Structure 1
Amino acid sequence: MSPEKALILDFAQTDAMKSILPHPAILSSHGANWEGIHVEYHHQPPSESPEHCLQQHSIGMILSSTIGGAKLNGKHYGSEPCHSGQIFIAAAGTDYHPYAVEDHEFIAIALEPTDFDNTVYESTNSNQIEIIPHWQIRDPLIIGIGWALKTELASGGLNGTLYVDALKNALSLHILHRYCAQKTKMRDFEGGFDPHKLQIVINYINDYIQRDLHLTELANLVQMSPYYFGRLFKQSIGVTPHQYVIQCRIEKAKQLLKRQDLSITYISQQVGFHDQSHFSKTFCKIVGLTPKKYRDRL
């Protein structure tokens, strides 16, 4: 792509794909308060996108079989059937020119390079990483993460940002393991948290249990990277930060349910659930009873 004609596709910009696709996204993570990752769900008619340069590390996940192809850095892939469940992977800076001759449904995932590089460095102590482009491959883990992110968008963010942060980190590490030129060795993290630092984090979680907490926010409390923080937290507590926050929310809800003057809707909001149905399902899954039945037995 010549510098004069370069079209930059920056997923951090709202409606960035309007410049290359006929229709807007059906679902988008813009405005969802996600950090370091952008996700969109599309259903598009036959089209050929103009050649563009990807600003982020990008993953495309095909949801419906179609006929199409692409050029990645000038190398042609296709034209042949693209089947549901196939994906493509390309690094930031890749020149990308896709086309489809039939209706097509897909999920687009973009990882911010700085965020990705920080995760790579913390996990391997190396920043010399090159992502190799892949086209029409199958990867069950990426498919699972993609569907989980789409479901989270469709639900309006019921599981929260800590859940998305965990999915983002898992996706980044998987790409590092499977789709990079260099074979890397993961660093070992042993010993868990210093008890004082762990207590700072626990106190903060309980003080702000009603908020949608970020992994970066918790890691900054003890001046750690999100990846390093997550590994040490699980070693110390036995569960991920997201799972621990859910446990804390349910424990606080059990205490509030002792007060008959508080509605279940109010309690769900006070412990960080903005959807009463999701609160009830989560409570029942952990406690074995719905909030109402639990209160009736007190």
Structure 2
Amino acid sequence: MSPEKGLILDFAQTDAMKSILPNTSILSSHGANWEGIHVEYHRQPPNESPEHYLQQHSIGIIFSSAIGGVAVNGKRYGSEPCQSGEMFIAAAGTDFQSYAAEEQEFMAIAINPTDFDNTVYESTNSNLSEIIPHWKIRDLLILGIAWALKTELESGGLNGTLYVDALKNALSLHILQRYCAQKTKMRDFEGGFDPHKLQIVINYINEYIHRDLHLSELANLVQMSPYYFCRLFKQSIGVTPHQYVIQCRIKKAKQLLKRQDLSIIYISQQVGFHDQSHFSKTFSKIVGLTPKKYRDQL
């Protein structure tokens, strides 16, 4: 099937899988301000999807045992029980079909091919990244990333877009190393940031600490790819961009807590936490006291 002739499954669209499955998703990342990665969580009755063309690199993870299978480029796999935790991986451009003889609960993760290719090039200095289809595999790293993404959706995005960007990069690199045809050597990065460029990024983070920041946004400040930026940032600072932003938010919160006229909910919003409970938990984890107790001791 070609994209001109068949049904195209584009996860960038709202309720993407509604075109091939009976029910809408239970959870979806559409509207969550995520870049280059899309997630849907489903509970579906017995069904057989029409053949469709994958617009993105796709991973499907089964969370309930059921009889079912898939067809990849016309070749059928399955017809035996699928166990919870098993998954498939298929590249963008694949002709795909799924079928289930029983109710099934599963998660779909899609990665934008351009984002994936950029990560591949920056990490290996190579454009070779042909993903080989896999069916009924078990991969604990992918499963862990999937649960982290599901938890982030369920929480309403408490950890923020930098956290999701880091998960997307980790997932892309793992697919590159484990499920691509070519075995490529990862590039070494040494030396860290130029001090002037690092200061530009730090100043920007502190100025916009109240916003949900994207990895690509920070990388563009110094004209780097997100992957390259992440590696150099951690070498220079000692922590990931996401971890550093959390540290900056707590530092700013400690300064604002000195002002008795500011409410804790207002302070949490000013330092980029859109949920006061999450702010209190994060503050307590790092400082050892709740924001209220910290303020009381000043």
Place the TM-score, normalised by the shorter chain, in its bin.
over 0.9
Give the distance between the partners of 2:222 and 2:15, measured in 1 at CA: 36
Give the distance between the partners of 2:218 and 2:4, measured in 1 at CA: 44
Instruction: Note if contact 2:66-2:82 (Cα within 8 Å) is conserved in structure 1.
Output: yes
Q: What amino acid is aligned across from residue 185 of structure 1 in structure 2?
A: K
Q: What amino acid is aligned across from residue 216 of structure 2 in structure 1?
A: T
1:201 corresponds to: 201
Give the distance between the partners of 1:22 and 1:268, measured in 2 at CA: 41
Shift of 1:170: 0.1
User: Equivalent residues in 2 for 1:1-298 (5 A)?
Assistant: 1=1, 5-298=5-298
Secondary structure, aligned partner of 2:123:
helix
Alpha-carbon displacement from aligned partner over 1:251-278 (angstroms, at most 9, x marks no partner):
0000000111111000000000000000
Q: What amino acid is aligned across from residue 264 of structure 1 in structure 2?
A: I
Instruction: Indicate how the Cα distance of structure 1 residues 2 and 293 shifts in structure 2: closer, same or farther if over 3 A, else same.
Output: closer
Instruction: Note if contact 2:59-2:108 (Cα within 8 Å) is conserved in structure 1.
Output: yes
Shift of 1:30: 0.6
Give the distance between the partners of 2:232 and 2:226, measured in 1 at CA: 10
Give the distance between the partners of 1:108 and 1:9, measured in 2 at CA: 12
Shift of 1:15: 1.6
Shift of 1:16: 1.6
Q: Could you list the runs of 5+ residues in structure 2 that have no partner in the other structure?
A: none
Give the distance between the partners of 2:18 and 2:170, measured in 1 at CA: 29
Shift of 1:4: 6.9
Give the distance between the partners of 1:3 and 1:172, measured in 2 at CA: 24
Instruction: Note if contact 2:268-2:274 (Cα within 8 Å) is conserved in structure 1.
Output: yes
Alpha-carbon displacement from aligned partner over 1:177-200 (angstroms, at most 9, x marks no partner):
000000010000000000000000
Instruction: Note if contact 2:23-2:44 (Cα within 8 Å) is conserved in structure 1.
Output: yes
Give the distance between the partners of 2:112 and 2:4, measured in 1 at CA: 25
Give the distance between the partners of 2:19 and 2:234, measured in 1 at CA: 42
Q: What amino acid is aligned across from residue 36 of structure 2 in structure 1?
A: G
Give the distance between the partners of 2:192 and 2:213, measured in 1 at CA: 21
Shift of 1:6: 1.0
Alpha-carbon displacement from aligned partner over 1:212-252 (angstroms, at most 9, x marks no partner):
00000000000000000000000000000000000000000
Instruction: Indicate how the Cα distance of structure 1 residues 291 and 4 shifts in structure 2: closer, same or farther if over 3 A, else same.
Output: closer
Q: CA RMSD in A?
A: 0.9
TM-score (norm 1): 0.99
Give the distance between the partners of 1:263 and 1:83, measured in 2 at CA: 50
Secondary structure, aligned partner of 2:282:
helix
Give the distance between the partners of 2:69 and 2:113, measured in 1 at CA: 25
Alpha-carbon displacement from aligned partner over 1:46-80 (angstroms, at most 9, x marks no partner):
11000001000000011111110111111111100
Shift of 1:2: 6.4
Instruction: Indicate how the Cα distance of structure 1 residues 276 and 3 shifts in structure 2: closer, same or farther if over 3 A, else same.
Output: closer
Instruction: Note if contact 2:268-2:276 (Cα within 8 Å) is conserved in structure 1.
Output: yes
Give the distance between the partners of 1:292 and 1:243, measured in 2 at CA: 23
Secondary structure, aligned partner of 1:25:
coil
Instruction: Indicate how the Cα distance of structure 1 residues 130 and 289 shifts in structure 2: closer, same or farther if over 3 A, else same.
Output: same
Secondary structure, aligned partner of 2:78:
strand
Q: What amino acid is aligned across from residue 91 of structure 2 in structure 1?
A: A
Shift of 1:13: 1.2
